[in-house]
Amino acid sequence: MLKKKKSSYHHGNLAESLLSAVDEIATQFGLEAVTLRACAKLVGVSPSSAFRHYADKRALFTAFATRALKELSNAMSVAKKEALQKNENGFKAVGLAYIEFAIDKPAFFRAMWREESIYSNDEAYKTAANALSQHLTAGFADTIDDQDPNRFSPQELLAWSAVHGLANLLVHGPVCNDDSKETMMQKADEMLLSLAPAFADSPR
């Protein structure tokens, strides 16, 4: 059962606290259980305070999806940077970061492209979605050769399909339903290694 949190936020960060409440409720009960009133109750504020930040549930989900897109983009960037510093395989590092994000933050992962529940024309959402798309079209975060950074190449589509597909299988089942995160990540590592021949001429 979710417990009401003490209202410890300072003026200006209630919006972010409400997004954290979305994550907590959705992770435990699913996105369908999320309401502005439930989030306000969890944070410890009145519903009217929540509505001053988000006009409706759709606006709340839009901000949540935007945050998810930004966090995934950042995870991929950090993974690429760390792989370069350690002289490790960048593609595998980025792929593992994508999958680990889905495992660690399933509510965020589910919300990113849930267009039926968000305002997909929201400027902040579009900016975040475009930024992630650029990561994926630019040689999968610049880890495989890419001759056109504005379009998906067959190899980029293969990379994203494999990584996103496995992430979905791990988050939604039926793969590794009862396994530990360590086992899931091992499966992901093995899958990414099996993709190596497809990128034999273009890894970075």
**Contact by Cβ (8 Å): 142, 154:** no
Share of the chain above pLDDT 70, in %: 92
Q: Which position has the higher pLDDT, 139 or 132?
A: 132
Q: Which residues contact 105 (CB under 8 A, 6 or more apart)?
A: 23, 68, 71
Angle between helices 14-29 and 36-43 (to 10 degrees): 110
pTM confidence score: 0.88
Average predicted confidence (pLDDT) for the chain: 88
Structure tokens of 8?
Answer: 């410890």
Q: Which position has the higher pLDDT, 201 or 123?
A: 123
> Which pLDDT band holds residue 201 (cuts at 50, 70, 90)?
low
What separation in angstroms does the CA of 55 have from each of 61, 63, 97, 119?
11, 11, 33, 12
Stretch 143-151: mean pLDDT: 81
> Which pLDDT band holds residue 202 (cuts at 50, 70, 90)?
low
Q: Which position has the higher pLDDT, 44 or 175?
A: 44
> Which pLDDT band holds residue 137 (cuts at 50, 70, 90)?
confident
pLDDT tens track for 58-82: 999 999 999 999 999 999 999 999 9
Structure tokens of 161?
Answer: 């399909």
Which domains are assigned to the chain?
Answer: 14-53 (1.10.10), 57-198 (1.10.357.10)
Stretch 145-160: mean pLDDT: 84
Q: Which position has the higher pLDDT, 122 or 138?
A: 122
